[in-house]
A and B are shown apart, each in its own frame.
Chain A
Amino acid sequence: MALDAGLVGRSYPPSVVYEVGREKIAEFATAIGDPDPVYRDPAAARAAGHPDVIAPPTFAIVLSLGAGNVVLEDPDVAIDYSRVVHGEQKFVHHRPIRAGDRLVATASVEAVRSVAGNDMLTTRVDLATEDGEPVCRTSSMLVARGTA
């Protein structure tokens, strides 16, 4: 079943606050095999001009994965999750995510397309501090194979 083009622009309520912890950042950096001290050592991060340890550029996926589920759970979004693969991913960083950030994620539908029998759904997630400072925008394109 093709996705309804009228979904584009639909926005969902903001997530609960996610507090970014130093240990979670270090765990993620280790998982991508990155030894950079700015992910682990507050002094090294400060020497590089950051207020605290920063997160790797792709760490934002941890938040956007969770926040994007609200779109997949929308009954109007007819997509078969068992047939979904990750097609594209984009990050735009207004500033690095850092330890101590209290972030709120807001998801919306950025685009829907059907190409050659495949449904494509692009979900945008805006990450901002709870005070409203924009931190990162992510776009995730999912492909549901053969469902259009």
Chain B
Amino acid sequence: MAAVVRSADVEVGTELPEQVTPVTRADLVRYAGASGDFNVIHWNERVATEVGLPGVIAHGMLTAGLAARAVTAWAGDPGALVEYSVRFSRPVVVPDDGVGAELVVRGRVAAVLEDGRVRVDLTVTSGGEKVLSLARAVVALS
């Protein structure tokens, strides 16, 4: 396991490249199949609105998985991400309009830990609203 980013090159405040990702209904179907999470609120507008949601929403773990990509791409080795935690603060509504939603992921190094590890705090928004809170990753740098 070898992260490309070296701990010597990183300090508190180091920013990760911003990642902008579209999320469409097709992405939700694909993620449902790959993850085994077939909860109907992620593909059925009728059921989603019946249970009080504004519409079909993305799987929380799809949002979390997309956000983690910003960290693993930066680190250079996905195996370097040793801890990851998120709180799902707001659903990502994915309209059936041919465009879908857009997820913006920003990250910065919030703490330098022992043994070359750093904590990266993520800010994840869709439509200008925070959709994850306390999104944190611990990365083992080389």
Listed in ascending order, the chain A residues whose CB lies under 8 Å from chain B are 24, 27-28, 30-34, 36, 38-39, 48-50, 54, 56-58, 61-62, 65-66, 82, 85-93, 95-96
**Residues of chain B within 8 A of A85, CB atoms compared:** 60, 88
- Residues of chain B in range 33-71 having any CB-CB distance to chain A below 8 Å: 33-37, 51, 60-62, 64-66, 68-69
> What separation, in Å, do the CA atoms of A65 and B59 have in the docked complex?
13
Instruction: Among B1, B65, B83, B86, point to the contact of A88 (Cβ < 8 A).
Output: B86
Chain A contact residues: helix, strand, loop or mixed = mixed
- Cα–Cα distance between A96 and B78 once the two chains are bound (Å): 8
Cβ–Cβ contact A38 & B77, under 8 A: yes
Which residues of A have CB within 8 Å of B86? 88-90
Using A28-B34, A31-B30, A56-B68 as known contacts, say yes or no to A48 and B77 having CB atoms under 8 A apart: yes
- Contact call B85/A50, Cβ cutoff below 8 A: no
Whether the Cβ atoms of A57 and B84 lie closer than 8 Å is yes
**CB of A19, distance to nearest CB on chain B (Å):** 15
Q: State how many residues of chain B have any CB contact under 8 Å with chain A.
A: 34
Known A38-B77, A48-B79: A32·B84 in contact at CB below 8 Å? no
- B27 contacts chain A at the CB level, 8 A cutoff: yes
- In the complex, the answer to whether B61 meets A31 with C-beta atoms within 8 Å is no
Q: Which of B20-40 contact A (CB under 8 A)?
A: 21, 27, 30-31, 33-37
For residue B62, give the distance in angstroms from its CB to the closest CB of chain A: 7
4 more contacts with CB within 8 A, not counting A39-B78, A58-B64, are A30-B34, A48-B2, A49-B2, A88-B86
Chain A CB within 8 A of B7 CB: no
Which residues of the other chain, A, contact B88 by a CB distance below 8 angstroms?
85-89
> B73 contacts which chain A residues (CB < 8 A)?
36
CB atoms of B66 and A32 under 8 A apart: yes
In the complex, chain B residues whose CB is within 8 Å of the CB of A93? 81-83
Q: With A31-B35, A49-B2 as given contacts, are A86 and B62 in contact (CB-CB < 8 Å)?
A: no
B6 at the interface (CB under 8 A from A): no
A115 vs B95: C-alpha distance when bound (angstroms): 31
Nearest CB in chain A to that of B140: its residue: A93
Q: Tell me how far the C-beta of A43 lies from the nearest C-beta in chain B, rounded to whole angstroms.
A: 15
